[in-house]
């Protein structure tokens, strides 16, 4: 077995580029993405990221002379990655943004209005009458008025209307939608920091008690301006030989998700998959998923949730029926958890079987000898650590062999986090596999 060693990050600082156009939990840390691309790929290589998230690796591939294919099941992730890796005419995009902001000035209240609304939020019935009178669209989010003050719902609907109606190029409209999505959390009652999901925390309640001002127009404009500030650097850093494609798809069915996007086997796979029971991206992106129209109703959202890996409440998904095929390490942990909580055991089994399918599918898309690099964190059960590293080594199967193991510390509070089961992720591991032979070889 390869000896565990520390990953040396040669990039001590990095250009923000489009990395922070939207807040994304457990983001692939750009210096780590830069270093892994440097160590395990070469300029001109084709890289796959089957859990691309908000596109950190894709952005760094784009400026590093690599081409990349990103796949993710989360519609907010896929949309973010596409917008963040597109090429823009900076002047034309800024003009489009200005036209939308000028349109919004027609409906934007005087700044004093928001001071008056600190405690007088309006009622749901008042907001619904205004929605009907102005023929505004609002999402069919069952808890809409729990997560947003009534006047905020109206403001967000008016901003969305302006984005839809002002005549701009398609890529520019997507840029505006991403700025809108990025502003939603700040305009809501949800705490923007916790990675666990969407929560109205005691911290947010304390802010509301002392008079939190919520101005959706300001939040939207601020997100646009911050993104535009880094756009020039992104366009200047792009490598003309690089290209990025992003697909929405199931990583457990990677060949299907990549169909038509690859004309040759990839040179490498680099990814940071979900951790078991860590970040529930399906829940985390509840508000953005509805406001961007990626789901029409709660039924759509529940169906989407069935395809995430690593989240809780998977219950009786089909892959759980394969529990008997779990190998030694995974099988022993399943039995141990099953003795205490069958539901949690099913979640663990679903995660393990899903990751085994990811390895199987990845093998079909990689060149022989190509590296498959997985950045993972460990989890716990009842106070004992479950080594995700050991789990993935076992699940990699005959198609891969472990070539190297590295780790790096998580140094800041936005990367390291504590979870509901009292586990803390303060270190991440880098498992470097090499593609050996096909399963049927």
Mean pLDDT rounded to a whole number for the chain: 91
Structure confidence at residue 268 (pLDDT)? 98
131-186: per-residue pLDDT in tens?
999 999 999 999 999 999 999 999 999 999 999 999 999 999 999 999 999 999 99
Name the nearest CA neighbour of 212 among 168, 148, 268, 167. 148
Can you give the pLDDT at residue 278? 72
Does the pLDDT of residue 419 top 60, yes or no? no
- On whether the 4-86+238-277+312-435 domain is CATH 3.40.50.150, my answer is yes
Q: Which residue has the higher pLDDT, 191 or 440?
A: 191
Among 3-12, 29-38, 151-160, name the one with the lowest average pLDDT: 3-12
**Between 236 and 306, whose confidence is greater?**
236
Taking residues 207-223, report their average pLDDT: 97
Report the C-alpha gap between 402 and 418 in whole angstroms. 29
Q: Poorest-confidence range of 23-37, 146-160, 295-309, 311-325?
A: 311-325
DSSP H/E element including 174: helix 170-187
For 261, the token pair is 């996007």
Share of the chain above pLDDT 70, in %: 92
Separation CA 249–CA 257 (nearest Å): 5
Least confident span in 19-28, 85-94, 297-306, 419-428: 419-428
Domain coordinates in residue numbering, the chain: 4-86+238-277+312-435, 90-234
The pTM of this model reads: 0.93
pLDDT exceeds 60 at position 412: no
pLDDT at 119 over 80: yes
Contacts of 217 (CB under 8 A, 6+ apart): 104, 108, 109, 155, 159
CB 81 within 8 A of CB 72: yes
């Amino acid at each position: 077995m390869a000896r565990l060693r520390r990953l040396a990050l040669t990039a001590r600082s990095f250009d923000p580029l489009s990395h922070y156009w939207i807040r994304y939990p457990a983001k692939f840390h750009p210096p780590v993405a830069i270093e892994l691309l440097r160590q395990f790929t070469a300029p001109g290589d084709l890289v796959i990221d089957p859990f691309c998230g908000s596109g950190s690796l894709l952005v760094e591939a784009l400026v590093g002379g690599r081409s990349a294919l990103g796949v993710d099941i989360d519609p907010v992730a896929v949309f973010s990655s596409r917008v963040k890796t597109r090429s823009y005419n900076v002047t034309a995009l800024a003009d489009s943004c200005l036209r939308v902001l000028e349109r919004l000035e027609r409906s934007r209240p005087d700044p004093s209005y928001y001071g008056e609304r600190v405690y007088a939020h309006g009622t749901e019935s008042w907001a619904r009458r205004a929605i009907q009178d102005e023929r505004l669209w609002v999402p069919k989010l069952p808890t809409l008025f729990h997560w947003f003050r009534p006047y905020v719902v109206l403001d967000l609907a008016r901003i969305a209307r302006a984005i839809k109606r002002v005549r701009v190029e398609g890529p520019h409209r997507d840029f505006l939608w991403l700025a809108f999505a990025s502003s939603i959390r700040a305009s809501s009652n949800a705490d923007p920091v916790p990675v666990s999901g969407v929560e109205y925390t005691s911290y947010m309640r304390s802010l509301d008690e002392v008079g939190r001002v919520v101005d959706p127009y300001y939040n939207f404009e601020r997100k646009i301006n911050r993104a535009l500030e880094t756009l020039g650097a992104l366009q200047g850093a792009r490598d003309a030989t690089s290209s990025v494609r992003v697909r929405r798809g199931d990583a457990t069915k990677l060949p299907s998700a990549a169909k038509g996007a690859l004309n040759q086997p990839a040179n490498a796979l680099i990814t940071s998959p979900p951790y078991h029971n860590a970040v529930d991206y399906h829940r985390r992106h509840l508000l953005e998923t509805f406001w961007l129209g990626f789901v029409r109703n709660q039924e759509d959202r529940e169906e989407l949730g069935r395809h995430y890996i690593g989240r809780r409440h998977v219950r009786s998904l089909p892959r759980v029926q394969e529990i008997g095929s779990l190998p030694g390490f995974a099988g022993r942990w399943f039995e141990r958890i099953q003795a205490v909580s069958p539901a949690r055991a099913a979640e663990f089994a679903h995660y393990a079987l899903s990751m085994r399918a990811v390895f199987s599918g990845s093998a079909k898309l990689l060149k022989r000898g190509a590296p498959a690099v997985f950045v993972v964190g460990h989890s716990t059960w009842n106070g004992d650590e479950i080594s995700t590293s050991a789990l993935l080594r076992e699940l990699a199967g005959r198609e891969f062999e472990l070539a190297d193991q590295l780790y790096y510390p998580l140094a800041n509070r936005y990367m390291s986090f504590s979870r509901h089961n009292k586990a803390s992720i303060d270190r991440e591991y880098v498992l470097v596999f090499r593609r050996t032979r096909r399963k049927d070889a």
